[in-house]
Amino acid sequence: MGPDIAHLEVNKGNHMKICLVCSYGGHLSEMLQLMEAFEGHETFFITYDSARTRGLERRYLLRNIGTNPLLMAHAFFSIFRILCREKPRLIVSTGSEIAIPAFYLARILRIKTIFIESWARVTERSGTGRLVYPVADVFLVQWERLLPKYGEKAKYEGAVI
Amino acid sequence: MHPTGFERLVREMDEVAGKIDEEVIMQIGGTKYIPLNAKHFGFGTEDEVKLLCQEARIVVTHGGVGTILNVLQGGATVVVVPRLGKYGEAIDDHQLVFVQELEKKGRITAVYDVESLEDALRKVDSKPAPLAKDRSLVNALKTYIGKFERK
């Protein structure tokens, strides 16, 4: 019997699995700034393949979608498979377009979502933000000036720095 | 990581590098123009770029969030040249608005016309203190995450 181990598992308490979705570059930098918020939870990344993202500990690497509709369709399937396998309780994204398939699939799979619009977006919504706004459970912007461009759901809670 | 080059800035910085005594090292990314007066490379790893930013007296960068975050926390003086939509350097002018906003907050020196880059570089010289991190967003996220925990 291993009562100690079983006990430890139970005592993780409200520990949950969180999927972090972002492209590389600035969006990843923003996510890395926020990692402290996920402490105590299990996290894994869905991001694009690059030298930098290969260094992440738990990650699924996709090809950069950009504006290619075929790659976007392919990403839907890849992310669907990943989400079914990992069964995260929550998805957090700082953008960009890789969040679109993840957030719509999350809606179908009943996974909660938090979207954080990029720090770089001061007065204009990003294309991704516009598309995921209707399906996100929590939607945050990093500049108060951007709030009027979105609906009531959008909140300002500070910025990455 | 911006696959699109930024020739306007790389070309001007190269020209300035030929006129000043200080060493200039450039990450030129996807830029086709090859600098003549400065050491340069395409894309460095995150650690390489971070180290260079820490060692630098001044960092000149595009208006990208990643670099600006790194540099502001490292403590070097930041000179930012926003990419502009009209030159095909970015999808739109969000970098311009972002840089104007950071400039208003006094966190960076902005250069909108690359011709004035040399002037700007000669004027800035102070090494500001590293920026303290604003914890409000991290704390807010913790609260939201807490609400999603299974009871």
What is the residue whose two structure tokens read 């409000």?
B136
Check residue A12 and give its pLDDT.
52
Report the 10 Å Cβ neighbour count for B121.
20
- Interface check for B57 against chain A (CB to CB < 8 A): the answer is no
| Complete edge-to-edge strand list for the sheet that includes strand A59-62 | A59-62, A42-48, A17-22, A90-95, A112-116, A138-141, A154-156
Per-residue pLDDT reduced to its tens digit, A61-100: 999 999 999 999 999 999 999 999 999 999 999 999 999 9
- Is A156 in the B-facing interface, judged by CB distances under 8 Å? no
- Residues in B touching A140 (Cβ below 8 Å): 137, 140
Round to whole Å and give the CA distance between A9 and A86.
18
pLDDT in tens, B117-126: 999 999 986 6
Provide the greatest CA pair distance for chain A.
Answer: 59
B88 touches chain A (CB under 8 A): no
Q: pLDDT digits over B49-63, tens only? A: 889 988 899 999 999
The secondary structure of residue B2, as a DSSP letter, is -
Rounded Cα distance between B49 and B26, Å, is 10
pTM above 0.90, yes or no: no
How many Cβ atoms sit within 10 Å of the Cβ of residue A34? 17
- Helical segments of chain A, H only: 3-10, 26-33, 51-54, 69-86, 99-109, 127-132
Minimal C-alpha gap between A77 and chain B (Å): 25
Nearest-Cα residue of chain B relative to residue A34: B138
Size of interface A-B (CB pairs under 8 A): 108
Interface of A with B in 21-60 (CB under 8 A): 24-30, 33-34, 36-38, 41, 50-52, 55
User: Across the interface, which of A34, A124, A142 has its CB nearest the CB of B141?
Assistant: A34
**Whole-complex ipTM:** 0.90
CB B84 within 8 A of CB B62: no
